[in-house]
């Protein structure tokens, strides 16, 4: 197939070899002082080697007083040039156009003094930022200009001004955050003054031949925020000012699900915004927003709705995304499931990790190399840990047998994917199954091995990936017919009545609530903690909370179940006061415990080396299971 994705494009003196863009994404890999780390270089190098056409290096801070959650790249002093130069030099041999995003966090700083056009906090509970004076605005303009000068000296092909997502430049553009009455506020002309001064200053400082890209929130989806009608005009003014390309994003802090869309957002959800901006300008437009599905990305280009495609988390999930497109190996692309765990780690000032890609952050230290000696490896359990271990071991050349007691592979992946907002997880399950089939893993379904049967298969190594089973505490009434387990409901092994009390408001409890809500049940959630959604990434957790509230789900936090009686669930609050909740069914979502049904493998006299991975060691996330499976199999 001839891919539009692989066609070159030329603009502003840049020749990009294909239409695949790696957009800026903070990963937490910078050194604590804001300089470039070797780990960061390896992360970007892996993607450059895959063949992406353009890389925009992440969020680089222009002001020493205002930073985000950290650690983040910085460029407010010449001392940062050398590290950035090392990064560019590492990538350039791979024929990739490399840009640097310049940003000022504005009122969204967490490690500095929040400043903004106007003293309006990002939320009712947020700190009130200090309104910038005219002189301070001019200083910040000069910081952007000097940042661009340093970027050019470091060897970057262009800079991108971050004018989206509610950071400072976006704050000036948005009528929701800019209430100034001087020349930097009021009309669109006034709100545009700050970004236009930045563009003009860069042009004067580094020359007309140095491209400037602009990232724009086409809509903010908040009252009085930026709308598409206005951002089309903004895009036209930016083009007249000399901006070379526009990357069309959306949202601000209050609408994070438009910035970093979880899996419940549709694929290509911002494409029409990109198309609207493209119809207003003559410069290239980059589309973003869950475009890691190759077919969707290709269709966007063929329909003329954008000129380039930003593949962000798709390149986190699979650094060889571009290479596999070039080789027509679409089925081998490890799918990003938009679970947002990478985002969640970074938002907590941790290094990004990926649910489906155990290599992330360990590029060039984690390797899948041919095994020195081929061994027969028996894996017991076909959930995420067992499937990933089988995939990696078989890819290395081992003979792999996989035994699963159920009649299908996937294990807890099917439980996780049952909630309507999480169906994307099925794509990862399907990928893992395709890969073990490709590498000729022998699979036995519906099998529970005895000790004799296992040893009769003559394994060299045994891997236990038997998962976990629901934890059922000693609870009066737990054995009543009206009581069901969460995973039995999610897997449709049982049914429940119209009024349901869910005991446990963690990840599984929220999954059950969403599943039942879509089926018209009246719900109450009992949760011992002060909030629901423990273990759920922050953007999805906030979304679910408001969805539940809008739907009338009764959320009883700081409550625990005392006992269950026919037609009733009896709960206790923090003061041990009883609450009788009428219900037809009670669903227990109280966590999991390791499945020890293959404990005989752990006996001292067992003659074969045995390893345990995943939930049978300690119940955790899909990320934990995949990471353990990959790392163990890579060493055997």
**Which residue out of 29, 43, 44, 167 is catalytically annotated?**
167
* Cα–Cα nearest to 56, from 269, 173, 215, 209: 215
* Cα–Cα nearest to 555, from 535, 526, 584, 534: 526
* Cα–Cα nearest to 355, from 627, 55, 551: 627
Please give the DSSP secondary-structure letter assigned to residue 143. Answer: H
Cα 456 off chain centre by: 44
C-alpha 57/C-alpha 21 separation (Å) is: 11
How would you classify residue 277: left for phi > 0, otherwise alpha for psi between -120 and 50, otherwise beta?
alpha
Query: How many C-beta neighbours within 10 Å does residue 208 have?
Result: 9
Q: Which two tokens stand for residue 563?
A: 């006992």
C-alpha 173/C-alpha 160 separation (Å) is: 16
Sign of CA dihedral 196, 200, 203, 206: negative
Whether 94 is catalytic: no
Q: At what angle do helices 538-551 and 507-517 cross, to 10 degrees?
A: 40
C-alpha 301/C-alpha 283 separation (Å) is: 15
Q: Is the separation of the CB atoms in 594 and 468 below 8 Å?
A: yes
Beta strand 568-572 pairing with 560-565:
antiparallel
Contacts 24+ apart (CB under 8 A), 554-557: 554/523, 554/524, 554/525, 555/505, 555/525, 555/527, 556/524, 556/525, 556/526, 556/527, 557/505, 557/527, 557/529, 557/530, 557/531, 557/532
C-alpha 377/C-alpha 314 separation (Å) is: 31
- Length in residues, the chain: 636
Beta strand 245-249 pairing with 285-287:
parallel
Contact partners, residue 582, CB within 8 Å, separation at least 6: 499, 567, 568
Strand residue runs (E) in 45-129: 54-61, 73-74, 97-103, 115-116
Q: Is the separation of the CB atoms in 528 and 560 below 8 Å?
A: yes
Q: Which residues are catalytic?
A: 167
């Amino acid at each position: 197939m001839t891919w539009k994705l692989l066609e070159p494009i030329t603009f502003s003196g840049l020749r990009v070899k294909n239409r695949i863009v790696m957009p800026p994404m903070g990963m937490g890999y910078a050194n604590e002082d804001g300089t470039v780390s070797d780990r960061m270089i390896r992360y970007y190098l892996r993607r450059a080697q895959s063949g992406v056409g353009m890389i925009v290096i992440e969020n680089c801070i222009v002001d020493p007083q205002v930073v985000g959650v950290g650690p983040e790249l910085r460029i407010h002093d010449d001392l940062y040039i050398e590290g950035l130069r090392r990064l560019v030099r590492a990538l350039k041999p791979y024929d990739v156009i490399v840009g640097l995003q310049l940003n000022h966090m504005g009122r969204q700083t967490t490690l500095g003094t929040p400043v903004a056009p106007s003293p309006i906090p990002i939320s009712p509970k947020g700190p009130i930022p200090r309104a910038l004076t005219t002189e301070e605005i001019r200083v910040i303009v000069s910081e952007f200009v000097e940042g661009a000068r340093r970027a050019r000296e470091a060897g970057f092909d262009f800079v991108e001004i971050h004018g989206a997502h509610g950071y400072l430049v976006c704050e000036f553009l948005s009528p929701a955050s800019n209430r100034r009455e001087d020349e930097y506020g009021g009309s669109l002309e006034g709100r545009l003054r700050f970004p236009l001064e930045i563009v003009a200053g860069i042009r004067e400082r580094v020359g007309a031949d140095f491209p400037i890209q602009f990232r724009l929130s086409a809509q903010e989806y908040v009252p009085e925020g930026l709308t598409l009608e206005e951002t089309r005009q903004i895009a036209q003014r930016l083009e007249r000012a000399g901006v070379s390309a526009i990357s069309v994003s959306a949202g601000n802090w209050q609408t994070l699900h438009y910035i970093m869309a979880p899996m419940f957002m549709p694929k290509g959800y911002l494409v029409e915004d990109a198309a609207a901006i493209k119809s207003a300008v003559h410069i290239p437009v980059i589309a973003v927003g869950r475009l890691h599905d190759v077919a969707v990305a290709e269709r966007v280009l063929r329909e003329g709705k954008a000129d380039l495609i930003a593949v962000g988390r798709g390149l986190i999930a699979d650094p060889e995304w571009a290479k596999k497109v070039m080789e027509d190996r679409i089925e081998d692309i490890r799918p990003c499931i938009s679970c947002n765990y990478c985002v969640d780690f970074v938002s907590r000032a941790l290094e990004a990790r990926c649910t489906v890609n155990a290599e992330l952050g360990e590029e060039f230290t984690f390797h899948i190399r041919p095994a020195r000696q081929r061994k027969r490896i028996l894996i017991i359990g076909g959930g995420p840990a067992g499937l990933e271990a089988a995939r990696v071991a078989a890819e290395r050349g081992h003979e792999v047998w996989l035994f699963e007691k159920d009649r299908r592979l996937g294990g807890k992946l099917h439980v996780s994917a049952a909630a309507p907002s999480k169906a994307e997880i099925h794509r990862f399950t399907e990928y893992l199954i395709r890969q073990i089939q490709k590498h000729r893993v022998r699979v036995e379904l519906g099998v529970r091995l005895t000790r004799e049967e296992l040893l009769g298969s003559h394994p060299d190594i045994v891997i236990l990936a038997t998962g976990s089973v629901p934890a059922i505490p000693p609870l009066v009434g737990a054995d009543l017919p009206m009581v069901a387990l969460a995973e039995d409901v999610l897997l449709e092994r049982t049914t429940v009545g119209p009024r349901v009390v869910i005991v446990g408001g963690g990840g599984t409890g929220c999954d059950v609530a969403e599943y039942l809500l879509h089926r018209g049940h009246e719900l109450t959630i009992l949760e011992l903690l002060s909030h629901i959604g423990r273990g759920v990434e922050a953007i999805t957790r906030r979304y679910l909370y408001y969805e539940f509230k809008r739907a009338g789900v009764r959320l009883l936090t700081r409550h625990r179940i005392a006992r269950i009686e026919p037609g009733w669930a009896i709960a206790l609050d923090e003061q041990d006061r009883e609450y009788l909740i009428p219900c037809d069914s009670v669903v227990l979502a109280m966590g999991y415990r390791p499945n020890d049904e293959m404990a005989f493998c752990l006996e001292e006299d067992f003659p074969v080396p045995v390893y345990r991975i995943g939930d049978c060691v300690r119940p955790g996330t899909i990320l934990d299971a995949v990471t353990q499976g990959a790392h163990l199999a890579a060493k055997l």
